[in-house]
């Protein structure tokens, strides 16, 4: 077991003429809550897919909990995903013909053994004990997202990847979901949260910003210290250096909102968290 939960070294992802990720290097220590920010097309979802073993890098190397993913077959990647990763989606992606409880049990089924009582407990933890027998269409967006979180947690994953978990929620539900993520973090879970919303990212210990596939900023979030050793995040540039840097195609990069949010999040007085 290595020191970091995840190590990403010089990772690039190339789709034909498009370089979705460019030489990203990043370490995520165990228990860290990392927010990945960036505008649409910045490569944050691609990075999350690679971190979640849903995709493989074109170049570079990814290590998850000491396992080098580049050497693994698709079947082995599936097994890693099953054993070590919990996924939370913006669109919830619940199976429409299964109840909330059964949706949680599906993750158990593909992981190991189905335990209805444990699945029910997971739902209770996210405040849905009384909604366990409801179908997704009978649940509100926030409730569906909480089912999605319960499903992600049920197998006690080493890494939780949340892709815009509050993107489809109103403010109240957003608060509820962030509260759950805080609880998970407090319990020691490693969380990678992909978002474009500064106020959501500000809950994290650490915020990185992607621009056109490059990692342009790596700062401490409101709730955490800055990266322990900047040398371990060789692809990261300080946010203030990144702003205004030219992209490969000559266009000015800089999603001002994202970068400013990253900077602001590092300023305790900058943003008012939803929590």
Partner 1 sequence: MFFKMVFRALTRRKGKHLMTAFTVGLGVSLATAMLGVMFDVGDKVNRELKTYGANLSVIPRGSSVAGEKYEFADEADAEGAAGEEGAIDRSGHAGHAGHSGHSGHSVQDFLSRARIPEDELHKIKMIFWAYNIVDFAPFLSTTVFVGDNPVNLTGTWFDKRMVLPTGDEVETGVLPLKSWWEIRGEAGDDSLPLGVMAGETLARELSLEPGSSLEVSTPAGEKINLTVRGIFRSGGEEDNELLSPMKLAQDISGLGGLVDRVEVSALTTPENDLARRAAKNPGSLSRMEWDTWYCTAYISSIAYQIEEILPGVRVKAVMRVAESEGTILRKTQLMMLLLTLLTLLCSALAISNLVTANIMERSVEIGLMKALGATNLSVSLLILSEMLAAAFLGGAGGYLVGLGLARFIGLTVFGTAVEVKTVVIPLAALMVIFVTFLGSLPALRALLKLKPTEVLHGR
Catalog residues that contact partner 1 under the rule CB under 8 A: 45, 49, 52, 54-55, 75, 78-79, 81-83, 87, 89, 91, 93, 95-98, 102, 105-111, 114, 135, 151, 163
Give the residue with the Cβ less far from partner 1, 14 or 114.
114
Give the residue with the Cβ less far from partner 1, 9 or 93.
93
Shortest distance, position 19 Cβ to partner 1, whole Å: 15
Phi, psi of 63 (to 5 degrees): -125, 125
Distances (CA, A) of 213 to 23, 121, 247, 251, 275: 8, 40, 10, 13, 30
Shortest distance, position 246 Cβ to partner 1, whole Å: 27
Q: What is the DSSP letter of 214?
A: E
- Which residues are CB-neighbours of 161 under 8 A, at least 6 positions away? 48, 51, 52, 85, 86, 87, 88, 192, 194
43: left (phi over 0), alpha (psi -120 to 50) or beta: left
Shortest distance, position 47 Cβ to partner 1, whole Å: 12
Shortest distance, position 49 Cβ to partner 1, whole Å: 5
Structure-token pair, residue 118? 């444990």
Give the residue with the Cβ less far from partner 1, 15 or 71.
15
Give the residue with the Cβ less far from partner 1, 9 or 82.
82
Shortest distance, position 62 Cβ to partner 1, whole Å: 15
For residues 251 and 153, what is the distance between their CA atoms, to the nearest angstrom? 41
- The secondary element (H helix, E strand) that includes residue 33 is strand 33-38
What value, to the nearest 5°, has the Cα angle with vertex 183 and ends 171 and 158? Answer: 115
Give the residue with the Cβ less far from partner 1, 197 or 239.
197
Shortest distance, position 169 Cβ to partner 1, whole Å: 18
Shortest distance, position 193 Cβ to partner 1, whole Å: 15
For residues 2 and 30, what is the distance between their CA atoms, to the nearest angstrom? 10
- How would you classify the pairing of strands 85-88 and 159-163? parallel
Give the residue with the Cβ less far from partner 1, 109 or 244.
109
Give the residue with the Cβ less far from partner 1, 157 or 227.
157
| In the block, residue with structure tokens 């967006």 | 141
């Amino acid at each position: 077991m290595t020191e970091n939960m995840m190590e990403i070294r010089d990772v690039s992802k190339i789709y034909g003429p498009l370089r979705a990720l460019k030489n990203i290097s990043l370490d995520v220590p165990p228990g860290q809550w990392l927010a990945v920010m960036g505008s649409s097309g910045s490569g944050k979802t691609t990075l999350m897919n690679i971190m979640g073993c849903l995709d493989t890098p074109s170049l570079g190397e990814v290590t998850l909990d000491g396992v080098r993913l580049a050497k693994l077959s698709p079947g082995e990647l599936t097994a890693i995903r099953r054993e070590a990763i919990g996924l939370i989606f913006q669109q919830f992606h619940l199976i429409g013909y299964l109840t909330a409880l059964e949706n949680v049990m599906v993750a158990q089924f593909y992981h190991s053994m189905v335990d209805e009582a444990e699945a029910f407990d997971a739902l209770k933890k996210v405040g849905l004990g009384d909604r366990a027998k409801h179908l997704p269409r009978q649940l509100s967006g926030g409730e569906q997202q909480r089912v999605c979180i319960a499903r992600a947690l049920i197998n006690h994953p080493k890494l939780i990847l949340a892709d815009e978990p509050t993107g489809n929620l109103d403010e109240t539900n957003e608060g509820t979901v962030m509260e759950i993520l805080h609880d998970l973090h407090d319990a020691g879970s490693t969380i990678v949260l992909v978002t474009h919303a500064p106020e959501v990212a500000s809950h994290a210990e650490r915020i990185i910003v992607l621009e056109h596939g490059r990692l342009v900023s790596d700062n401490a979030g409101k709730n955490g210290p800055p990266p322990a050793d900047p040398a371990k995040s060789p692809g990261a540039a300080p946010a203030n250096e990144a702003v205004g840097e030219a992209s490969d195609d000559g266009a000015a990069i800089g999603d001002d909102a994202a970068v400013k949010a990253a900077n602001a999040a590092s300023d305790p007085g900058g943003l008012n968290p939803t929590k």
